[in-house]
């Protein structure tokens, strides 16, 4: 989540906010390390609870954790702001626990439309984590060398999700067959290392150019990629936001997943973006080399960007920071007009 939040923190005074550390031991260790790297203040959840402190405002990405029969975020904050972090897995993303929030920071029109039923103000911020893509990336030569990318090959970035909707078990060996002709970077879901070590074991002997399990901002990998390959969850929408050629890998009955649903954006995206299943995967080389297809897709990606994202390209973090600073007024105004 630091990659989502950090661009917004950079628009705020470091003395005006503090990070509440929560989660598994593994997650806490990584959070504390990141807080120290980013030089932001932090406090353990237990300290907050012991002091009985309630923050005037809290920003979080979900409200599922409970304490004494009520959402934890309501226990430790007077007002809560949800910072939307994904577009996939709609059943999870738009669940009833959103009623715990007083303000939403959404990506764009789609989030505003889906969250309208909670009768809570929505600020359409765009996608702050990718502002740097539009404002000037650093020199990526060191990363290119670290990943050992062959400059004579196109680079494919494979961004599988985790758990049941991960495409790794079904497609890893077949994706590896492309390694002679392409640089293939596999960037795993952040929780795979802790929760699914068997996935890492499955990938280890295969001839991918790089398998990334560490925390690295996807924006730099998107910048290196000629084409992006995704399955489910939110990563495909990063490719759309950054206007990257996108291919989807299908799994049977994905629409039945309890976190997704048939009308989840990552399921519906297959109506507009080329996808392959196990039976058609043998066509992948033809698809990757079909320039007419990619030109046609570029026009459709532009339409999808307008639907899913506010046009704050390069300025999304500023929009989010401004909304956080003005949260009291935004919430109050919504109450007056409700």
Q: Give the mean pLDDT of 303-327.
A: 97
Same domain, 192 and 95: no
322 belongs to a structural domain: yes
Per the structure, the count of domains in the chain is 2
| Percentage above 70 pLDDT, the chain | 98
Same domain, 169 and 237: yes
Half-sphere exposure of 278 (CA within 13 A, CB side): 10
68 belongs to a structural domain: yes
Q: Give the mean pLDDT of 194-207.
A: 90
Strand-pair category, 227-230 with 154-159: parallel
109 belongs to a structural domain: yes
Q: How far apart are CA 230 and CA 245, in angstroms?
A: 11
Same domain, 95 and 120: yes
Band of residue 42 on the pLDDT scale cut at 50, 70, 90: very high
- Domain residues for 218? 138-308
User: Residue 198: its pLDDT value, please?
Assistant: 93
301 belongs to a structural domain: yes
pLDDT tens readout for residues 63-122: 768 888 888 999 999 999 999 988 877 788 888 999 999 999 999 999 999 999 999 999
Q: Give the mean pLDDT of 134-157.
A: 97
Same domain, 118 and 206: no
Q: What is the sign of the dihedral through the CA atoms of 283, 192, 37 and 18?
A: positive
Mean pLDDT in the chain? 93
Burial 300-335 (b: 16+ CB within 10 A, else e): ebeebbeebbbebbebbbbbbbbbbeebeebbeeee
SS3 helix, strand, coil % of the chain, rounded to 5? 50, 15, 35
Band of residue 338 on the pLDDT scale cut at 50, 70, 90: very low
Residues near 228 by Cβ (< 8 Å), separated by ≥ 6?
156, 157, 159, 222, 235, 236, 239, 244, 245, 246, 247
133 belongs to a structural domain: no
User: Residue 240: its pLDDT value, please?
Assistant: 97
Residues near 160 by Cβ (< 8 Å), separated by ≥ 6?
166, 167, 168, 186, 188, 189, 230, 231, 249
Q: Give the mean pLDDT of 130-145.
A: 96
Residues near 7 by Cβ (< 8 Å), separated by ≥ 6?
128, 129, 131, 132, 316, 317
132 belongs to a structural domain: no
Same domain, 316 and 303: no
> Which CATH number belongs to the domain containing residue 24 in this structure?
3.40.50
Same domain, 84 and 163: no
Q: Give the mean pLDDT of 293-321.
A: 97
Same domain, 298 and 321: no
Same domain, 161 and 294: yes
Helices (H), 242-275: 265-268
Same domain, 114 and 15: yes
Same domain, 52 and 109: yes
pLDDT tens readout for residues 207-230: 999 999 987 899 999 999 999 999
Q: Give the mean pLDDT of 136-152.
A: 96
Band of residue 335 on the pLDDT scale cut at 50, 70, 90: low
User: Residue 1: its pLDDT value, please?
Assistant: 73
* pLDDT beyond 70 at 139: yes
Same domain, 160 and 283: yes
User: Residue 86: its pLDDT value, please?
Assistant: 84
Residues near 309 by Cβ (< 8 Å), separated by ≥ 6?
107, 108, 126, 127, 241
Same domain, 52 and 118: yes
């Amino acid at each position: 989540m630091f990659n989502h939040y950090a661009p917004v923190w950079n628009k705020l005074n470091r003395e005006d906010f503090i990070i509440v550390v929560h989660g598994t031991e593994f997650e806490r260790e990584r959070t504390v390390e990141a807080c120290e790297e980013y030089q932001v203040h932090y406090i353990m959840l237990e300290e907050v609870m012991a002091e009985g402190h309630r923050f005037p405002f809290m920003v979080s990405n979900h409200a599922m954790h409970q304490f004494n029969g009520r959402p934890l975020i309501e226990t430790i904050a007077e007002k809560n702001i949800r910072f939307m972090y994904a577009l996939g897995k709609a059943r999870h993303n738009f669940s009833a626990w959103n009623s715990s929030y007083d303000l939403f920071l959404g990506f764009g029109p789609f989030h505003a439309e889906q969250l309208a039923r909670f009768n809570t103000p929505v600020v359409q911020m765009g996608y702050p984590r990718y502002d740097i893509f539009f404002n000037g990336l650093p020199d990526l030569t060191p990363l290119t060398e670290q990943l050992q990318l062959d400059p004579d090959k196109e680079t494919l970035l494979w961004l599988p999700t985790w758990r049941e909707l991960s495409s790794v078990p079904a497609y890893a060996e077949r994706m590896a067959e492309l390694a002679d002709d392409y640089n293939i970077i596999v960037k795993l879901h952040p929780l795979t290392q802790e929760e699914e070590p068997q996935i890492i074991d499955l990938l280890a002997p295969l001839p991918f150019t790089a398998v990334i399990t560490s925390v690295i901002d996807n924006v730099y990998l998107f910048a290196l990629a000629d084409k992006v390959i995704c399955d489910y969850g939110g990563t495909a929408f990063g490719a759309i936001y950054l206007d990257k050629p996108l291919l989807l890998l299908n799994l049977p009955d994905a629409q039945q997943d309890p976190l997704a649903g048939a009308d989840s954006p990552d399921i519906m995206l297959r109506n507009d973006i080329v996808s392959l299943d196990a039976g058609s995967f043998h066509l992948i080389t033809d698809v990757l080399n079909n320039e007419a297809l990619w030109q046609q897709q570029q026009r459709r990606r532009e339409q999808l960007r307008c639907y899913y994202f506010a046009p704050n390209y390069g300025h999304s973090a500023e929009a989010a920071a401004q909304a956080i600073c003005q949260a009291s007024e935004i919430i109050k105004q919504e109450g007056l007009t409700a």
